[in-house]
Amino acid sequence: MQEKILFQYESPQQVRDLLESMAEPGYRDFASSLVPGENHVLGVRLPKLRALAKTLARNGGEEWLRHKEDLSFEETMLRGMVIGSLREEPETVFALCQEFLPRIHNWSVCDSFCASLKLIVKHPQMGWEFLLPLAHSSREFEARVAAVLLLNYYLIPEWIDDALLLLSQIRQPNYYAKMAVAWAFSKAWISFPEKTCPYFAPGVLEKETRKMAFQKVRDSRKPKMPLPKE
């Protein structure tokens, strides 16, 4: 059962103080090891961040989002979660998503942000229009956002053909973008092997991406049909 956090929003400093009160020094070192290059990790566990985001989104979230400077990894992650938790018109939420993109500098913020965007389930066309240009971005984590959104919300019968085609067009060369594409293809293979099979033919995907996708399929131990030969 998710923890509930109740408070009356007053200021960005109030939220920072609350984040610091939730921090666990022993967890900070572990969390820091997962996000290389991130120097301002407090050590707040994800369930607590999600609970705070849920409360903040319904109690001053849009006002809080107007502050510009995030002083910790958790503050940036919270920002993405709050955006996804807002009960506003989808146009408003996707505009905030667009503003948030430059703040994404690691896989953890990227993936937690994408997981929070549950409004895509109800508004898949708007979600598609948001992610489409990101799939062709030269920026590593914009491309990863596109791949993770496709993975989370579009590997379904209604969208699988478009999703696979777009995933195959993501050619951002850096590791975290490639890994997200490989991850998405591995999930697609498990659920839609017949549709995914043409994309696993040699020469369709970049060699490294294909190799990573095959490894993730093997790790899952759930394939419904054998993988093609490497």
Per-residue pLDDT tens for 50-67? Answer: 999 999 999 888 999 999
* 145 within a domain of the structure (yes/no): no
Does residue 2 surpass a pLDDT of 60?
Answer: no
**Is 92 among the domain residues?**
yes
Number of separate domains in the chain: 1
Classify residue 53: in a domain, yes or no.
yes
- Domain assignment of residue 3, yes or no: yes
Answer yes or no: is 165 within a domain.
no
Assess if residue 18 is contained within a domain: yes
Q: Determine, yes or no, domain membership for 44.
A: yes
Q: What is the pLDDT of residues 204-222, one digit of tens each?
A: 999 999 999 999 998 887 7
**pTM for the predicted model, two decimal places:** 0.93
Distance, C-alpha 226 to centroid of its chain:
29
**pLDDT tens digits, 174-187:** 999 999 999 999 99
Question: Which domain does 50 fall in, by range?
Answer: 1-96
| pLDDT given for residue 1 in this prediction | 44
Percent of the chain scored above 90 by pLDDT? 83
Flag whether 17 is in a domain: yes
Average pLDDT, the chain: 93
